[in-house]
Structure 1
Amino acid sequence: MALFIIGLLAILGILAATVNFIFLDFFVDLWWFQAQGMTSYYLLRILYPYLIFIFFTILFFAIFYINFRVASHIIGFEDKPEGYKEKKWLKHLNHALRNMYLLLSFVMALIVAIPVFKNWENSLLFLFGSHSGVLDPLFGKDIGFYLFSLPIYNLLQKEILIVVTLMLAGVLFIYWYEKAATPIEYRIKSHKAHWHTSILVIFIFAILCWGFMLERYDLLYETVNLPVFKGPGFVEMTVILPFIWATVVSLMLTGIFLVLKINRRVGWKMPIIFFLIFIIAFLGKDIETFGDTVRKYIVMPNQMVREKDYIKASVDATLAAYGLDKVETRDFETTSAVSFDADDPDTLRRLRNVPVWDREILGSVFEELQSIRTYYSFPTIDVDRYWVDGEYRQVYLGAREINNSKLPEVAQNWINMHLQYTHGQGVAMIPAAKAGDEPMTWFIKDIPPRSQFGLSNDQTDIYYGLADKPYAIVPNNVGEIGSSTGEGEKIVHYNGTGGITINSLWRKFLLANYFKDRDIFFTTKTNNQSRILFRRNIIERILHITPFLKLDQDPYIVHTPKGLFWIQDAYTTASNYPIAPPYNEEGFNYIRNSVKIVIDAYNGNVSYYIADPGDPIINAYRKMYPGIFQPISEMPTILKQHIRYPRDIFTIQMSIYATYHQTNPERFFRQEDNWMFSKIAIGQEFFPATPYYLTLDLIEPGKDEFFLFLPLSPFGRDNLRALMFAGNDLENYGKIYAYRFPRNQQVYGPAQVHSLVNQDTVISEQFSLWDQRGSELVFGKMIIEPTGGAPLYIQPLYLQEEGPLKIPQIKRLIMSLEDAVVMAPSLEEAAVKLEQELRRKSDRLEKRLPASPPTQIQEIPADDIKEEKEEEEETKQLTKEKT
């Protein structure tokens, strides 16, 4: 009996080890993908590399074996001289060698197929890729050729060259062995063997020529002309390219005449002549000294003339590679007498959507005011737009996610971590605009989430999000902690479709091994409906499904009447787009925001929607994995209203556009109008501006739309040169516009406006009063709006306590137009004051009174300060009456 138990335990141990090391990951992932409805996709991801390997192994094996058999056939059926009798041992040896052809062909095929196997994904892109409809500006080849075909051609050229060379060596050995094994008096000349080897020799020369032909396209990735421009220039296209053609032609003719010499007994003269030409052409294309000499004495003295066409090609290709070839440029019309109407309904409407809060500052506000329970947190705050009470409002919102690490240490036991504290509770939402010294307006707040503005939904539980969460087993016999009910907690039970079922001991056994947690197997708190939810971080979840997509760093939550959903932007990238320079250290020189990924915060379902159907890379993946990528038209309408152009790609595009907006080759060569990200003040230091979202009616007057903005300045200067913005709403999604300011006029940039604010004696005096011991004055990020005649600057001021508990409050709002700077508790009051200030400056100008220098503000006498304070009180009263 003891032996039986020991044997059973041994068998179980072997079974467990086998399952653990061989099948465990496969089964768990299979169940996980089945829950996503992606079983066929998962199996394809597993099988594709091996299918590629098998395909090329069979292909190369067939090539080897057929040639060996041909050689064997030629030897075996060659007429033998009369009286020749093959020795018995030699016959057996020949038979053994012929049987070895099978094994030898297979081994050689494996050797050359392994590199293709290692590049299986590129091989699939080659098979499924198609034309992009865009041609490179120099050779006229479709961009799809460079993205999909060229990498595989380069790989195959080397592999086929190895294959044919090995094959030729094997065939020559067969013919040599047959000759060596035949007595001299019985040897005959084999014409078929000569032609067989000649064909292989010609084929080798053809493959070598193909390699040199592919070198033409390598010229498009030339870097020798940097930092002026990327790609080939005069030397590459008019000197090196002809040498490449000469190399191809001379090498092919050398091979042809060499074969003729061997088979027809013609002289050595022609092969030697063409081989010498090949040597000269080969050295001419590869020796740097020759190209450098041409560049130094012919190109450099007339570089603009010589390189003009190639500079234009580089600019055009770069704009196309980064999706900037359709930027719409608009000249911002500045006026000498700037006016501002605070009573204009359009002005008041725009002010209601100005985002006076900073996302970074709002994080602590949401944590302190809306976490409510210690085990909830807001990993990020998102900006979006919603229809609230019939108005198109820009808002900030955050997802209230579970954070098990915030539980008291004594409460961090297995049941609490995995069975009870399993999910978050809804979102908190505020309007983007707010006045100083007034209570916070919450569109959605508290637990359970409630709204006085009609923003309710049916499902507020968050099981999947941005926070790292342990696996959860739900529903279970203990119950999960839900929303508060008085002094207690409401117990809830999961009713979704997320995760994988654990309704059998076998599954519990496998999952306990997978998570290395025996409690999964031994717990008695599960039931037949229990499911284990894991990979609950949406980033981890997406990367496990589609590791070939590059993800945006700012996924965001969307509140809908049906539930909560995450939207994650994803990119396709490539590093082999011709002529275009790479983006910094990232390495890629092609990017598209091709995919919008939607993740159900309750069920965890992941859906992929193609946002850029013109992208050839995502189209190749769509064909490769049928059913995974859906057209954007299939996305639910309620979610389509919340898609937005992501900041990451906009930042990348603008860093390229800052230089490549100069489409005129001569201007680009001189680099006379380079731009840079405008500098903005954060604390006491200046940093490059980052993109921000605004709601304005820039495209169609009176129709508010959601835009992404970024200010740009001339390189090395602080004034404003351009205001770039991208559309987010469906009609104008992804369209990029450039508001260019005149180069011959002074237009204040953010850094200069910050200086004007600090030089205003009234405002700086107030700063000193607030910034006393016990409180800290914090400058918010500066917002720039294009308005009539000049850009309008708005900057919030926050006041917070010095200490561990920081709940920033908006104290004042600064508004500036040209060199007029005002400060008020609300945007409406600031607008009235700004109008008065501009009118006063205009009156001074008409009376030809001396004005302050444009970059300084004169010290205001005490009487004027008193007068301005009185005007401020009048402005407040006037604003209240208007409200």
Structure 2
Amino acid sequence: MRFRRGLIILAVVVLVLLFSLRGLASFYVNFLWFDSIAQASTWRGLLAAKVVPALVFTIGFFVIMWVNLLVADRLAPPLRKMRAPTSEDELVSRYQEITARYRGRIRVGVSLFFALIAGLGVSAQWKQWILFTNSVDFGTKDPEFGLDIGFYVFKLPFINFLIDWLFAGFVIVLLVTAVAHYLNGGIRFQNATQRVSPQVKAHLSVIVAMMALIRSVGYFFDRFELSFSSRGVVDGATYTDVKAQLPALNFLIFVSIIAAILLVWNIWRRGWVLPIIAVGLWAFIAIVLGTIYPTAVQKFVVEPNEFSQERPYIRRNIKATSDAFKLSTVDSKDFNFTQDLSPAVVEANLPTINNARLWDPGIIRSTYQTLQALQTYYQINDVDVDRYDINGQ
């Protein structure tokens, strides 16, 4: 039996290695290329930026999932024999009989499976991680929040990813934990008296409370995303963003925290009233204040008198553009020109005229598409402009 099991494990390992050979070869060749140009340290840094965050996030998600599954098993109600068991009772009884010896392994396996899924995607965020860990200040602050521009370039992208990852992770934890409670008998849809046990209500309330707290942090950082808004007449935070969306986000932070407090309170109440009030109030205010109110302000306050309402934010945009391109340091000079073009002037400026571009890429593309595409399935996507050395010119 052990020999047979060993052969199966060996066969699985061989198959994994065979399917991984192409990736391993590419991995090694990539290292050799970096090493050949004396950049092996850069290769190691990039590898660490991909592996370390993914490993940390995988372990973190594994712990969160494992703890919640352990709590779900500990809160499982005792199995009782009934005179007329329902199909759910039979399912729970059969599940507990089959898995009684393997509960610990099942928890580890399920937690590891979802942790690997949640952690693998983190490696794709290696650029944001490098920017976050190597952030520097630009020395210029944004006019609305007074934060250095470097915060928006280096830190905010990874922070937003982290918040979204945590929220999505707890959604998965909530669903898997609910399934675990169902298989353990804590949730019974066919039970007319008590469909969900009080202990399960308390446990699920804690998970949703964590989601509310994570979302409150998300609302806090969503405020800074207004600096990238394209809602108004110019890019950046404009009238609706500052006067409507920003106050709405500030209020939603408060509402999310109140919702989390109500859900934590439900640990002792163990009912449905507090969770329904918390989630319902949270969702209602998020829709009304977060979506409908800013849209109404833009439609009925800004658009009828757009230039007047947006004037301060247009000035901000102009100043930011001027500072970014250092236009304030440009010296303006008059260019004297004449409309009398003589052969002598042409001869004196012949090198410049010979280097003038004859074709406009935007126009020539459509011309080539018409003249050169012999079949409808040919498509000329773009026209590149280049320079050639012809007869020393």
Please, what TM-score do these two structures have when normalized by structure 2?
0.66
Residue in 1 that maps onto 2:118 = 112
Once the two structures are superposed, residues 246-305 of structure 1 have per-residue CA deviations (whole angstroms, 9 ceiling, x without a partner) of: 33333443453355467436967965666544442133346x3442211134x43xx34x
1:99 to partner: Cα distance? 1.9
Work out the CA distance in 1 between the residues paired with 2:273 and 2:34. Answer: 69
1:138 to partner: Cα distance? 0.6
Residue in 1 that maps onto 2:303 = 296
- Aligned: 1:241 with 2:242: no
Residue in 1 that maps onto 2:176 = 170
What pairs up with 1:240-639 in 2 under 5 angstroms?
240-257=245-262, 260=265, 263-264=268-269, 271=278, 276-285=284-293, 288-297=295-304, 299-300=305-306, 303-304=307-308, 306-322=309-325, 324=326
What pairs up with 1:826-865 in 2 under 5 angstroms?
none
Retained in 2: the 8 A contact 1:126–1:149?
yes
Once the two structures are superposed, residues 94-146 of structure 1 have per-residue CA deviations (whole angstroms, 9 ceiling, x without a partner) of: 44344211111111112222332222221222233244443221112232321
Residue in 2 that maps onto 1:134 = 140
Work out the CA distance in 2 between the residues paired with 1:205 and 1:51. Answer: 28
Residue in 2 that maps onto 1:66 = 67
Unaligned runs of 5+ in 1: 1-16, 325-656, 662-736, 742-746, 772-776, 783-803, 809-883
- Aligned: 1:779 with 2:350: yes
Residue in 1 that maps onto 2:161 = 155
Alpha-carbon distance change, 307 to 19 in structure 1, aligned in 2, over 3 angstroms: closer
The one-letter code of the counterpart of 1:148 is F
1:155 to partner: Cα distance? 2.0
1:154 to partner: Cα distance? 2.3
Work out the CA distance in 1 between the residues paired with 2:96 and 2:267. Answer: 29
Alpha-carbon distance change, 99 to 805 in structure 1, aligned in 2, over 3 angstroms: closer
The one-letter code of the counterpart of 1:120 is W
Work out the CA distance in 1 between the residues paired with 2:214 and 2:101. Answer: 33
Work out the CA distance in 2 between the residues paired with 1:33 and 1:165. Answer: 40
Alpha-carbon distance change, 58 to 739 in structure 1, aligned in 2, over 3 angstroms: same
Residue in 2 that maps onto 1:690 = none
Work out the CA distance in 1 between the residues paired with 2:257 and 2:277. Answer: 12
Work out the CA distance in 1 between the residues paired with 2:281 and 2:54. Answer: 43
Of the three residues 319, 330, 346, the one matched with 1:738 is 330
Once the two structures are superposed, residues 658-700 of structure 1 have per-residue CA deviations (whole angstroms, 9 ceiling, x without a partner) of: xxx5xxxxxxxxxxxxxxxxxxxxxxxxxxxxxxxxxxxxxxx
The one-letter code of the counterpart of 1:215 is D
1:74 to partner: Cα distance? 4.5
Alpha-carbon distance change, 285 to 29 in structure 1, aligned in 2, over 3 angstroms: same
Work out the CA distance in 2 between the residues paired with 1:179 and 1:124. Answer: 46
Work out the CA distance in 2 between the residues paired with 1:275 and 1:781. Answer: 65
Retained in 1: the 8 A contact 2:244–2:297?
no
Alpha-carbon distance change, 31 to 222 in structure 1, aligned in 2, over 3 angstroms: closer
Work out the CA distance in 1 between the residues paired with 2:390 and 2:167. Answer: 70
Residue in 1 that maps onto 2:220 = 213
- What SS does the corresponding residue of 1:119 show, helix, strand or coil? helix
Residue in 1 that maps onto 2:53 = 52
Residue in 2 that maps onto 1:222 = 229
1:202 to partner: Cα distance? 0.6
- What SS does the corresponding residue of 2:185 show, helix, strand or coil? helix
Work out the CA distance in 1 between the residues paired with 2:19 and 2:289. Answer: 61
Retained in 2: the 8 A contact 1:234–1:307?
yes
- Aligned: 1:199 with 2:199: no
Work out the CA distance in 2 between the residues paired with 1:27 and 1:254. Answer: 51
Retained in 2: the 8 A contact 1:251–1:278?
no
Q: How many residues align?
A: 322
Residue in 2 that maps onto 1:707 = none
Once the two structures are superposed, residues 525-551 of structure 1 have per-residue CA deviations (whole angstroms, 9 ceiling, x without a partner) of: xxxxxxxxxxxxxxxxxxxxxxxxxxx
Of the three residues 136, 148, 152, the one matched with 1:146 is 152
Work out the CA distance in 2 between the residues paired with 1:296 and 1:134. Answer: 31
The one-letter code of the counterpart of 1:250 is V
Alpha-carbon distance change, 779 to 123 in structure 1, aligned in 2, over 3 angstroms: same
- Aligned: 1:103 with 2:103: no
Work out the CA distance in 2 between the residues paired with 1:241 and 1:181. Answer: 41
Q: Percent identity?
A: 20
1:50 to partner: Cα distance? 3.0
Alpha-carbon distance change, 41 to 99 in structure 1, aligned in 2, over 3 angstroms: same
Report which of the two structures shows the higher radius of gyration computed on alpha carbons.
Answer: 1
Alpha-carbon distance change, 285 to 119 in structure 1, aligned in 2, over 3 angstroms: farther
Retained in 2: the 8 A contact 1:112–1:162?
no
Retained in 2: the 8 A contact 1:240–1:284?
no
Retained in 1: the 8 A contact 2:223–2:246?
yes
Retained in 2: the 8 A contact 1:223–1:230?
yes
Retained in 2: the 8 A contact 1:49–1:120?
yes
Residue in 1 that maps onto 2:356 = none
Of the three residues 66, 88, 99, the one matched with 1:93 is 99
Work out the CA distance in 1 between the residues paired with 2:135 and 2:126. Answer: 14
Work out the CA distance in 1 between the residues paired with 2:23 and 2:283. Answer: 56
1:29 to partner: Cα distance? 5.2
- What SS does the corresponding residue of 1:740 show, helix, strand or coil? coil
Retained in 1: the 8 A contact 2:220–2:249?
yes
Alpha-carbon distance change, 260 to 51 in structure 1, aligned in 2, over 3 angstroms: closer
- What SS does the corresponding residue of 2:144 show, helix, strand or coil? coil
1:176 to partner: Cα distance? 3.3
- What SS does the corresponding residue of 2:143 show, helix, strand or coil? coil
Work out the CA distance in 1 between the residues paired with 2:262 and 2:332. Answer: 64
Once the two structures are superposed, residues 212-247 of structure 1 have per-residue CA deviations (whole angstroms, 9 ceiling, x without a partner) of: 333322221122333xx3212222211222222233
Alpha-carbon distance change, 31 to 116 in structure 1, aligned in 2, over 3 angstroms: closer
Structural RMSD (CA): 4.2
